[in-house]
Structure 1
Amino acid sequence: MSEQNSVAFVATESIPPSPPPANQTGVVKWLRENLFSNWQSSLLTLVSLYLIYVILSTFLPWVLNGVWTTSSLTECREVLEGRFGACFSVLTERWNQLLFGFNYPSDQYWRPTLAFVFMLIAIAPVLFFDLPRKMLAFTVAYPFVAFWLIWGGTIMAPIVAFLGCAAAAFVFGAYGKNNFALGFIGAIVAAFAVWIIGTMLIPDGANEGAWLEHVPSRDLGGFMLNMMLGVTCVSLSIPLGIALALGRQSNMPLIKGMCVIFIEFVRGVPLITLLFVASVMLSYFFPPDANVDLFVRVVIMMTLFSAAYVAEVIRGGLAALPKGQYEAADSLGLDYPQAMRLIILPQALKISIPGIVNVAVGLFKDTTLVSVISLFDLVGMIRGPILGGSAEWNGVYWELWGFAALLFFVVCYGISQYSQWLERRLATDHH
């Protein structure tokens, strides 16, 4: 019996693990590591919480007590009866002017709305390259469809523009492989030839009785105008900026000198100056009988302005590539266009993504400057017809400017988040 008691006990199963301490898991752990890791962090956390409380204690009552159904600021104040609250009725009363301007026909709002929906579909295969490549056919056709939807009038104008671009692409594809300069010049000549012939075939008064009512550019306005300028100028400035960056690194002195002079001149001039040039002087560079639309002139100047900055961003990406990448392209027997298209530019553009996005966001916000040349964008609508030309809402500021800030923030934040996703998606480096 004594021998049995002296035998040591051997466990047949492991002891279950004990739970970690409460301060090492869950929310408590996160708070301790991120907000209260030391006394300095704890002090900043408490100060920040106090500031957030002060802001929300003022902002939330202002929003929750807001009035949405009155027709003037006076009625808003009567409804509030001395309480602290916002007058959001200006948004419900003037939302159409804020989004579409005050001259765009109200029964035609479906046209720019449909163009915006089509834009989301058209840019999807460009932004998300895992989508089927067949969708690019709609992307190519979208600019001409959107032009017809927004401006209306005869359908022959977008068809002629499409044929001109198709002719330019055909000529460049036929001659640009062997001689880039010849293909480029030939493409421009072909596009202008098709455009001139097509405009001669369009009869006078073709906009009358067209399928869609013609809307002149002077009737465009609101946030729709900001979106049109931002999307158009960014889309055009990126390929132009690439061409300028390559031209600045060219071995041909004339091409390099022209690109350097253009880039340095445009970067040294404020955008508002270029907009005044577009409004007053740019028409003198066209034939005397040419009536170039103000919207087109603004697009030209904003595109040139943005392209100069994009060129410098891409030049930085090209300079960041090691010399071995250029030597690798030479060792494969690639000519200059092939080396740039297959090896150099894909890597340089990946490096340049943050800078390009920064230029795009800045340009989109700078579209508000067109209000100084009598284009009623979102800011122009608030400053002009709503506050300056309406006695009913004179004195409403925070609601209108807050709404404008929200719209611009949503677009710019979306661009920023996409760029971060794209950087992670293209992060193929091995460390």
Structure 2
Amino acid sequence: MVVIGGGLAGMAAALDCRERGYSVRLLEARPRLGGATYSFARGDLLVDTGQHVLLRCYTAYLDLLRRIGAADGVRMQQRFRVPVLSPGAAPTSLTRWNLRAPAHLAPALLNYRRLNWAQRVRAARTALALRGIDPSDPAIDEQSLGQWLRDQGETPRAVDALWGLLAVAALNAAPDDASMALAAKVFRTGLLETADACDIGVPQQPLSELHGEAGRQTLLAAGVDVRLRRKARAIRRGPKGFQVPVEEQAGASVLDADSVVVATPHSAAAALVDELPVRGSAEWSRLSSSPIVNVHVHFDRAVTDHEMAAVLDSPVQWVFDRTRISGARRGQYLALSQSAAQQEIGMRTEELREIFLPALRELFPAVGKAKLLDFFVTREPHATFRQAPGSAALRPSAITEVPGLVLAGAWTATGWPDTTEGAVRSGIRAAEAVDAELRSRTSVEVTA
């Protein structure tokens, strides 16, 4: 069998299929595995193109990290805590207590000083209402998070300072642009069902090491034929099931396969299956994409003690201290993660510098005395699919109408947002679908 795409979904599918006893060839167009999660060198820094975090409820992703020997590369909070900063205001935080869910969040809401007392009480009531929402209900998916919150009586300030603070980071979409079904999945699974589900994990090594290299070594050791710099051009019917034309450095080749897992972004997947009767593939483009911009700032000295913080009333959304992880030899290196960055994605680095350096100075006065060593920007124009109202109807299942052709990727119908967890779960589902189809085929052949 052939797996096309070496991101988290493709790696999970390939590893699972190999462990089920199948011969697996994994094709990746890039010179590395890991998909969108990768790193590059800039001076003495090893830089992730985008800042990634995870939650304790990311059970499939955490299991994959254990399987590839990379679990020690993530530091998990013992208890959920997010410092929340605002210019000219004392820091506050969202912190869970050691109580059973959903009571574990009540003190956090009631002590959250970015909202007044009435807004905090209303937020607690809204959290309870969220527990009654079914994320799998198509009617819920047609609503936006913003409209649902207003229907609950939430004020614009509460939407921005609480619900939007978390939802924009999780869904890469503003509340009015976010599917209520996906928002409900985030809040229910991540915050409301179990007390420790929301604890945050932060990678402690560059993503190329955490995912790409560790994954490659594990796949090779398991017997997967990993082929980098191999770009699949199409998927066609063949005498053994499928033929996959492949572009490579030495020219071109054609691979035969009894089954194929397509684990690429949705736009690339649609192009690959264009010659096959896959219902709905023409609609996948409507999933569109949403950008993330990461602003990287390196100072000659420490300007903050926060390892991670959310930010309100500022152009900055989230700030992470990447000094130790990146291998910086001096000063402090901060990464600012900007989700739903439709405006910032088209701005020049000089323009972003004029916005974000003053914003950092307002948050951290020590910036005024620090020397700027480096300022640069990484852009992810297609960081996630656009997780908008109505997107559930466009997300296909793993199984297609073509026997042996299976889909994987965080954009497929996992029930999860476009996250590392969704990607890994899609790869596992793809492997299950391949196994079921091949076993069924073998059973029919034996019976015949």
- Sort the TM-score into its range (normalised by shorter chain): under 0.3
Structure number with the higher helix fraction is 1
Higher strand share: 2
TM-score by structure 2 length? 0.22
Highest RCO, 1 vs 2 (Cα 8 Å, sep ≥ 6):
2
Bigger CA radius of gyration = 1
TM-score w.r.t. length of structure 1 = 0.23
